[in-house]
Chain A
Amino acid sequence: MEKGKVDIEFIRRYIRGELTPREMYVLERQAQADPMLMDIILGMEQETLDVHDDHLADIRKRIAECTGQRQTATRRLAPLQRWAVAASILAVLTVGAWWFTREDAIIEQHEATVAATSEQTPEMPEAEAKPLPEPEAPATKERVADTAPRTVRIAAADVAAANQAEKKEERLAMVTPKADTGTGLLDSTIVVGYGTQQRSAPTGVAARLVAAEMDTAVAASARAAENPNKPSPKEGWDAYRQYLRNAVKLAPGQGVVDLAFTVDDEGRPTDIAVIETTNEKLNTFAILIVRDGPRWLRGNATQRDVTLRITF
C-alpha cells in the first residue's frame, strides 16, 4: 500500500483478525509511517464493525440528501444486485438449454479448429487465447440491434456464450489432454461477460457464475474483440494478453482473480472490483495490473462494464 492510499477493506480484515501475523505487521509498520493510516485504524478500533456500518449507511444517506444525488449513484446496491443475479441465473436455465441444442453444429466446427491449434503446439497452451472464429457475432449484433427487452436478451446472450465457452473447454479437454496439464501454467486471460450499463454488473456476473465452474483457465471469447460496441483493449486483444502475460510474472503467488471494471472517458479501467478470487494476496496486484495497464476503447455508452479473468 502506497502512502496516502488506504485500503479500507484490508484494515477491516485486520480488525476482524483475518490477517496473518506477517500481514498484520506490514500494516502496523506502514501505519507507524503514515498518520492517515494510523488514524483510520485507531478510529475503526473504537467500535465494532457492524456498529460502524450502521453509522456509515446513515452518513451516506445524509450526503446523498445533501447533494441531491440519486441513491443509485452510490454503489451500495448489493441486495438489488443479488436479485439481478438470481434473475440472470434463471435466464441461464431457460435459455441455456435452447441454445445448446441450437448451437451444437457450430460448436462442432469450432472445436475442430481449437483442437487443431492445440495439437500443433501442445507445449504452448496460450495459443488457445488467439481469437477464435466468430460463429456467434452475427447473432450478437442482431440482439444488440433488437432493443426490446434488452437486459434479459443480452444476459441470455452472455450467459449462453459462457455456456458455449464452457462446453468448448470440456470438449477441448477431451480431445487434447495434453493441453489440460498445462493449464496451471497458463497466464492468459478471458473476458467472460459484459454488463449492459455502468454498475449493472448482473449480466457479467451471471456469465461469470457459469464461467467460474470451468476447470480450465482459458476460454478466449473472441466475439468481444470484433464488436465495436463493447469495450476492448486499445491496442487489441493480442497486445493486451501479451501485456498480462508479462505482468503476471511478477505476481507474489498463483491463483485466479476475476475483476469487473468500467472504462472511463479516457479509456482507463476504473471502478475495478474483485468479484471472485482464489488467492486474496493477488487481489491488489491484479487491480494494479489492470489499472496501470494499457488503455481501453470504451465501446458505446451503454456497455462499459467488463469482466476480466487473470490467471497467475
Chain B
Amino acid sequence: MSGFGTPKKDVDDDALLRHYRDTGDMAVLGELYQAHAEMVYYVCLRYLKDSERSKDAVMQIFEELIHKVNKQEIQRFSSWLYVLSRNHCLMQLRVAKNRHHVSIDEFVEFPLAMHPDGDGAEKEKQLTALERCMERLPEKQKRSVDLFFLNEKCYKEIAELTGYSLKEVKSYIQNGKRNLRLCMEASDGKG
C-alpha cells in the first residue's frame, strides 16, 4: 500500500495551471502547490537550515507564487517553482545577514558546459587538459573525483574505499569539481 501517498503527477501540473489561470480558483492553485510543497520545503530547509523558518518560507513562497504565477511564462511548473523557492531563500539569507550560515561557495555548482560542438582535435585537447588538471588536484579530491566521475562509485562506496567520512567525500567531490572547472577555464583561456 506504500504507493497511496505518492501518485505521480507531473502530467497534470499544466492542466491545473491552465485551470487556475482560466478560473482564478484558489483551491486549484492550492492543489497544484500541495503537490510540490514537499519539494519546496526541502529546498528551504537546505538553505535556511531550520524547519520552522522553512515552514514559514513555504507559505511565503506560496504568496509570492500567487503574485507571479499569472505574470510569467511557465514552461515547466516544478522547475519554475524551484527557482522561485531558491531565490526566495537566498534573498532571505541576504536580508537577515545570515551569510555566515551558508557561504556561496557551498552552493551547488552548475555543471560546466563543455563545448559540445568541438571537433575531435578540440576534444582531445580538452581531455589532455582535464588529465593535467586532475593531476593538480589535492590527493583526496583527486581520489574522490576519480572514483565518482570515472569509476561511477556512489558516495557510500567511496567512503568505504577511502576511509574518508561521507561528509568529507561530498566536500572533496564538490571542491574537486570546482577546482577542475577553474583549472579548465584557465587552460581554455591560454589555448
Grouping DSSP codes into helix (H, G, I), strand (E, B) and loop, the B interface class, with mixed when no group exceeds half, is helix
A58 CB, nearest partner CB in chain B, Å: 6
What bracket does the count of chain B residues touching chain A fall in?
Answer: 35 or more
Residue in B8, B12, B37, B152 whose CB lies within 8 Å of A287? B8
Residues of A within 8 Å of B88, CB to CB, are none
Tell me if B42 and A44 are in contact (CB < 8 A): yes
Per a CB cutoff under 8 Å, which of A8, A46, A269, A274 touches B45?
Answer: A46
Number of A-B contacts (CB under 8 A): 171
A84 CB to nearest B CB, Å: 11
Q: Do the beta carbons of B27 and A68 come within 8 Å of each other?
A: yes
Q: With A21-B156, A74-B34 as given contacts, are A39 and B55 in contact (CB-CB < 8 Å)?
A: no
Interface status of A81 (Cβ within 8 A of chain B): yes
Among B75-83, B118-126, B132-140, B182-190, the stretch that binds chain A is B75-83
| Residues in A whose Cβ lies below 8 Å from that of B15 | 264-266, 270
Per the bound structure, the CA–CA distance linking A18 and B11 in Å amounts to: 27
* Contact present for A271 and B30 (CB under 8 Å): no
Please tell me which one of the listed residues B5, B59, B82, B111 contacts residue A33 in the complex, with CB atoms under 8 A apart: B111
Tell me whether B46 and A78 are in contact (CB under 8 A): no
B164 at the interface (CB under 8 A from A): no
* Interface pair B153/A25, CB less than 8 Å apart: yes
**Inside 8 A of B55's CB, which chain A residues have their CB?**
55, 58-59, 62
Bound together, the chains give a CA A67 to CA B11 distance in angstroms of: 22
Assess whether B101 is interfacial by the CB under 8 Å rule: no
- In order of increasing CB-CB distance, the 7 nearest A-B pairs are A67-B30, A43-B42, A43-B46, A24-B154, A273-B7, A25-B154, A43-B45
**19 pairs, A vs B, C-beta closer than 8 Å:** A4-B78, A25-B153, A25-B157, A28-B148, A35-B108, A35-B110, A36-B79, A40-B39, A43-B54, A44-B45, A46-B49, A47-B51, A64-B30, A64-B34, A68-B27, A75-B4, A75-B5, A260-B3, A269-B11
